Amino acid sequence: MPPLFTTWRENLLALAFPPRCVGCECDLRDEAVGLAALCSVCREDLTIYAGPQCHKCGAPVVFAGATECPHCAGDFWKFETTFALGQYDGLLRHLVLQAKKVLHEDAARALGDLIVEVRGESLLEWRPTHNMAVPMHWGRRLWRQTNSPEVIGERIARGLGIPALSRALSRKRYTARQALSAPSVRRRNLRKAFAVRGNLTGARVLLVDDVLTTGATAHSCAAALKDAGAEAVAVAVAARSFT
Ligand SMILES: [Zn+2]
Ligand SMILES: [Zn+2]
C-alpha cells in the first residue's frame, strides 16, 4: 500500500495534525488506509462503479463494450473517453462539494488519490502524456481562491507520474453558471471559451474535472486541445452526474 504522506513536510504536518478521514473526520492513524485519506467505513459508503462503464461518458452500462449508452447516445464530443469513479451521489457528491471550498483542499486531494487508487491502472493503459485540469476564469479563481479540478489533477499527475501542465489551458471568458443552463445553451456559451498555450502535437491529454454532467465543458476544452495538436483527450472525473 503506498504511504499516505510522502514528503518530509507532509510527515511533519502529520505529526502536528494527525491525519483525519475527509468523509467523517475520524482519526486515521490506526486505520490501514490506501492512498486517499478515507476510513474503511467511508470507503464502503462511496458509490464507486465496479461494473462495466460506457467507454465514452463513464456512465454504468449493461455489459462491457456496450455501444448503446442511454446517457450519451447522439452526443458528439471531441474527447475520446471518460474515466469516472461513480455517480454524483451520497458521500462522493459531498466530497466534490467540499472540495470546491477554500481550506477544504484535503477533500480535493482525497478525490485525486482515490482516482489513482481505483482507476490508476486503466488511466495508465490509456498512455497519457500530459495532465491538465479544466481551468477556472481568473476572476472566479480570485473569488473562490481554489480550483478543485486543479488540486485533483495535481494528485493524479503525482500518483501516475505524468507531467501536469497547469498553465497550458486557460479560460478566456467568464461564463454564466452553467449548471442552470440547458445543454444547447451550455455548448453555445462555451464555444471557444478556452485557449491553449504552446504546441501539443501528438499529446495524449488527460483532462481532469470534478464532475461530468452534459460534457459541454470537457468538449470545449478538448476542442481547444485538439486545435493545438493533441492526438487524443481522455476525461478523468470524480463523479458522473445525470442532472
Ligand atoms: Zn470516514
Ligand atoms: Zn455514455
Bridge partners (DSSP) listed for residue 240: 87, 212
Q: Ligand 1: distance of its center to the CA of 22 in Å?
A: 6
Starting from the CA of residue 74, give the closest ligand.
Answer: 2
Starting from the CA of residue 44, give the closest ligand.
Answer: 1
Q: Ligand 2: distance of its center to the CA of 77 in Å?
A: 11
Q: Ligand 2: distance of its center to the CA of 149 in Å?
A: 21
pLDDT tens series, the chain, 243 aa: 445 556 677 677 667 777 889 999 998 887 767 889 999 999 999 989 999 999 999 999 887 766 778 899 888 899 999 999 999 999 999 999 999 988 888 999 999 999 999 999 999 999 999 999 998 877 777 777 778 999 999 999 999 999 988 788 888 876 655 555 566 666 666 777 898 998 899 999 999 999 999 999 999 999 999 999 999 999 999 999 987
Q: For residue 160, what pLDDT is reported? A: 95
Starting from the CA of residue 82, give the closest ligand.
Answer: 2
Starting from the CA of residue 72, give the closest ligand.
Answer: 2
Smallest CA-to-CA distance from 152 within 194, 122, 107, 117 is with 107
Starting from the CA of residue 215, give the closest ligand.
Answer: 2
Looking only at the bridges linking them, the beta strands covering 169-171 and 194-196 are antiparallel
Smallest CA-to-CA distance from 156 within 109, 196, 122 is with 109
Q: For residue 2, what pLDDT is reported? A: 46
C-alpha cell of 197?
Answer: 498555450
Domains of the chain: 1-45 (no CATH), 53-240 (3.40.50)
Q: Ligand 1: distance of its center to the CA of 36 in Å?
A: 11
Question: What pTM value is reported for the model?
Answer: 0.87
Starting from the CA of residue 31, give the closest ligand.
Answer: 1
Starting from the CA of residue 54, give the closest ligand.
Answer: 2
Q: Are 68 and 52 in contact (CB under 8 A)?
A: no
Length of the chain, in residues: 243
Q: Ligand 1: distance of its center to the CA of 243 in Å?
A: 27
Smallest CA-to-CA distance from 165 within 112, 119, 137, 205 is with 205
